[in-house]
Amino acid sequence: MAYKEFLIPYGKGEMAFYLPLGMRGKVVEPKFVSPLADVEEAIVKALKSPVNSLPLGEMAGPGDRVCIVFTDITRPCPDHLLMPPILSELEEAGVRSEDITILCGVGMHRPSTYEEKVAKLGMAVVKRYRVLDHDPLNPNELVELGSTPSGLPLSINRFAYGADFLISVGVVEPHQYAGYSGGPKTVAIGVAGERTIEHTHSPPILDHPGTRLGVIEGNPFQEAIAEAASLAGLDFILNVVLNIEGEVIAVRAGEPKAAFKELVDFARSIYEVKVMGMYDVVVAGVDHPKDINLYQASRAASYIFFAPKRVIKPGGLIVVPARCEEGVGEGLSEIRFYRMLKEAPNVEALLAEAHQRGLKPGEQRAFIMAKVLKQCDVIIVGAKSPALIREAKMIYAGDMEEAFCIASQKLGAGLEVLIVPHALLTLLSARV
């Protein structure tokens, strides 16, 4: 009997593997949608006919200061396609290039490099316009706005808040806390101060049953970032939805809430997949660039564990192939994530400490992973730094064969295996 070959994303390519004799595998993927025939034309059309908004060229004009917020290199948003049409519209409206600031919303992650800015935006944009990184720890770069009606302490980058017209670009996809990313999050988290990020990522919000993958309505995290983005003055968004190949399949521009809602409705029809039963092992793939470090790649495990439909048996194993080229990651958030996992004597102690003292930005990923690790083991396959994986209380395996050997030793033979090649783009649900 011939073995069936399975493929899973690994780095910028794929990893092929076979299940050991006696294991049974099932593959679950989002619906594949072909890319838009002419993406550039679709973007221009979206800008000319925005959702619940005047066209961009009629909203900004000569003398206006404009700030455009985009995401960093760990987000797959095709900014090189989105930014030029926006800039062209602004130029036609009479906005001077020197009045435009393009701001990378890094949140609490590391600043972007010059090469990453070029990769995201294109050389022509980087050379002509002022392109900056947000710094959430520099008080001189922030505007303190006090507390929102819901009690959220709000501080926002001064270039974003000081703009006469504030735009954000992003990608709408499943998100651990926001339900779906994009929309208000690019501004509300990407260019917010540390206190704002800390509040939105605190245990009371993360423990709330509404703070879930795929959930927008009744989600306190989504409500907080929508409130923050509105008070920050977000005027207009240009967002996309991507297929599993990273190609644009939908684009909307316009008033932030209305345009975001249309894309969320579309994204749900693509990413939410029905699955029945529970499994001993789940193989969770991470598409590049989310595999760049452990902070990002570990999302695959938590997306599986906190899926709308519980698919992993108690005591089961989640296997995540990821190179983690940057180790745990180089930003302050990533360092805090690693340190909290490493220094805690066990995950129970970590969870207790988090509830007692709260969480600093970045530590929330350790908090979420501790919830996962309390009930099942996580194996990271093929990571560049095995010691870092073990110090973060996860299991290292050199290849998939070793990972399945570990699974057999822990759980026995005849295991049921669910294979989710695109775990960050697949919402496992009992109903669709």
Q: Could you tell me the residue ranges of all domains in the chain?
A: 5-28+275-429, 39-270
Name the band, by pLDDT with cuts 50, 70 and 90, for residue 1.
very low
Q: What's the first-to-final CA gap in the chain, in angstroms?
A: 35
Q: Which pLDDT score is estimated for 3? A: 67
* Per-residue model confidence as pLDDT tens digits over 352-393: 999 999 999 999 999 999 999 999 999 999 999 999 999 999
Phi, psi of 402 (to 5 degrees): -65, -40
Q: The dihedral of CA 215, 29, 257, 60: what is its sign? A: positive
Residues 6 or more apart in contact with residue 339 via CB below 8 angstroms: none
Rg (CA), the chain: 21
Q: Which pLDDT score is estimated for 432? A: 62
Q: What CATH number does the domain located at 5-28+275-429 have?
A: 3.90.226.30
How far apart are alpha carbons 61 and 165 in whole angstroms? 10
Please state the rounded mean pLDDT for residues 335-342: 97
- Element holding 337 (H helix, E strand): helix 332-343
Rounded alpha-carbon distances, angstroms, from residue 60 to 97, 232, 339, 426: 13, 17, 45, 38
Q: Using the 8-state DSSP alphabet, how is residue 179 labeled?
A: E
Q: Which pLDDT score is estimated for 149? A: 86
Write down the mean pLDDT value for the chain: 95
* Per-residue pLDDT at 351 exceeds 90: yes
Q: Which pLDDT score is estimated for 75? A: 87
Contact between residue 177 and residue 83 where contact means Cβ atoms under 8 Å apart: no
Please state the rounded mean pLDDT for residues 242-262: 97
Please state the rounded mean pLDDT for residues 136-155: 93
How far apart are alpha carbons 185 and 221 in whole angstroms? 10
How far apart are alpha carbons 403 and 318 in whole angstroms? 10
As given in the structure block, the two tokens for residue 75 are 């987000």
Element counts in the chain: helices (H) and strands (E)? 18, 20
Query: Exposure of 120 by Cβ count < 10 A (0-12 exposed, 13-18 middle, 19+ buried)?
Result: buried
Q: Does domain 39-270 have CATH number 3.40.50.11440?
A: yes
Please state the rounded mean pLDDT for residues 170-194: 96
For residue 51, the SS3 value is strand
As given in the structure block, the two tokens for residue 420 are 């989710």
- CA 261 to chain CA centroid, Å, is 18
* Per-residue pLDDT at 296 exceeds 60: yes
Q: Model's pTM, two decimal places? A: 0.93
Q: Which pLDDT score is estimated for 74? A: 86
